[in-house]
Amino acid sequence: MMKIAQIKNELLNWRELSPRKVVKYISFVIGAFILILALIFIFFPDPFINTFLKDRITKVLKESYPAYSIKFSDMHYNFWKNRLGCDSITLRTNDSTITCSAASFSVSGIGWIKILLQNDYTSNILTSSVIDAQKIEINFHKSQYKLRFGMLHISVPDSGMTADSIKYNSLIGEEQFFAKSKIRQTRFRFDIPKIKIIGLDYLSLLQGNIYKARSIIIHDLFTDIFVNMDKPYDNNSPNPQMLNEALSSMKETVKVDSLKVINGWLNYRERFALNTKPGVVTFNKVNVSISGIANNTAHPDTTIIHGEGLFMNSGTMKLFMAIPPTSTDFSLRYSGSLSTMDVTVLNSFIEPCEHKRIKSGILQSATYNINVNSGHANGTLRAAYRDLSVAVLNKNTGSENGIFDRISSIFSKIFIIRRTNMPDKKGLMKIGEIKYTRHPKDYFFNFLWFALRNGIADVIGLPKI
């Protein structure tokens, strides 16, 4: 009791306290207050974050990236994991051409105090960061496409990225997409269940001067390409670039050691009239391996492509390609093969596109070898087949029973079409000659196909392009 009374007397007579004791009491009060604030921040950080720091974070991001505006919903902070998250996030460009949203977003491993107190938002603060986001949607309003991710995980310390349920498609339907323009359009759709990137140099990527990764692996890629051939080509559009032209024109450094597509599917369609059935070409069970993607002119490399897939769900097609990506002219070499198949499966494309019908025909095997120098393709095609029969169709009715169509079909059988091209007793057969010069409007894959088609036409006996 006497001790308590003594303390009370000291508090009542605070003027008589020594400066040392005053400092001691004040320090105790301040320390207790700071401790209480720290405990509140550790165990109940969300009110503090949303009241005092959310606007500050938004302001810092706005100052660092003035071309964008960003909006956060309620934020949550886990002190022990140093992880800041929010229920949803919206990002848009100031001209509203691009909007991006995520249902949830979190980032950990960042020194938030350094950002808030020192306005330090350089890429160095991200060296230990891990980012996770769910249900991301990016809308490209000008091109009317959207890109979606089910999940995105980025780990800067591990130099890796994983994403799943990736979908890229038009914001509008097919007919509306084609109707919005008087010129020919190509509509793309991609569906990727999973993609994984290893050895990604994030810091160089954020600085915007180097795109570098050890490997990119894409699982079960589905690609759908649809072209409305019933409208004219835009002659005022710039000529499409080849791979070497696109890489050499980039100011940034690109280097990807390997890219793999595992079990892909390609669906290519061409429509030649409104409300008509398009021509279809398919590749499934596609496996592609690409190495040496780079545009370093000081140490030039060669991009090597190996591919294999099931063509029209019938024959196995293989492809090899070697491309010097930093070449000043369009040069490459490519070769491939196609196994035994019933060629009538090609009618799904040939009937609506070429107005011809393959009545019968069995391909035993086909191989080709093509060299391209400065846009000039030269090579050979060996195609062993038998019992090829082709009928000409009426463009309006699709029938082969009209008198003129039947005459054309008979003429094709007798004077043009080589019905069989099998090796004779000496092993000799017709070898298709490939000669094709790139047209300025040719896209990369158009060029590869047109060159190969010349060899096919030479073997069969059809006019070349």
Please report which confidence band the pLDDT of residue 410 belongs to, taking 50, 70 and 90 as the band edges: very low
Percent of the chain exceeding pLDDT 90 equals 35
pLDDT of residue 411: 43
Return the closest-CA partner of residue 148 out of 132, 159, 162, 164: 164
CB neighbours (10 Å) of residue 400? 19
In a domain, 67, yes or no: yes
In a domain, 135, yes or no: yes
**Contact in structure between 239 and 317 (CB atoms under 8 Å):** no
pLDDT of residue 407: 41
pLDDT digits (tens, 9 = 90+) for 99-137: 999 998 888 877 665 555 555 555 566 677 888 999 999
Over range 189-196, report the average pLDDT. Answer: 95
pLDDT of residue 192: 95
Q: Which domain holds residue 116?
A: 41-157
pLDDT digits (tens, 9 = 90+) for 311-351: 999 999 999 999 988 777 889 999 999 999 999 999 998 88
How many whole angstroms separate alpha carbon 201 and alpha carbon 196? 14
Residue 228 burial by CB count (10 A; 0-12/13-18/19+): exposed, middle or buried? Answer: buried
Whether 258 shows a pLDDT value over 60: the answer reads yes
List the alpha helices (DSSP H) in 102-240.
112-118, 174-179, 202-207
In a domain, 32, yes or no: no
Domain count, the chain: 1
Whether 413 shows a pLDDT value over 90: the answer reads no
Q: Look at the alpha carbons of 439, 443, 444, 445 in this order and tell me if their dihedral is positive or negative.
A: negative
pLDDT digits (tens, 9 = 90+) for 13-31: 545 555 665 556 566 556 5
In a domain, 78, yes or no: yes
Helix (H, G, I), strand (E, B) or coil at 465: coil
The C-alpha angle 453, 303, 243, rounded to 5 degrees, equals 60
How many whole angstroms separate alpha carbon 350 and alpha carbon 171? 30
pLDDT of residue 404: 41
In a domain, 121, yes or no: yes
In a domain, 86, yes or no: yes
Higher pLDDT residue, 78 or 318? 318
Number of H helices, E strands in the chain: 11, 20
pLDDT digits (tens, 9 = 90+) for 371-403: 999 999 999 999 999 999 888 877 655 555 544
pLDDT digits (tens, 9 = 90+) for 52-71: 677 777 877 777 778 888 88
Those residues whose C-beta lies under 8 Å from the C-beta of residue 29, and which sit 6 or more positions away, are none
Please report which confidence band the pLDDT of residue 409 belongs to, taking 50, 70 and 90 as the band edges: very low
Higher pLDDT residue, 24 or 456? 456
pLDDT of residue 437: 93
Higher pLDDT residue, 149 or 118? 149
In a domain, 303, yes or no: no
Average pLDDT, the chain: 81
Higher pLDDT residue, 44 or 259? 259
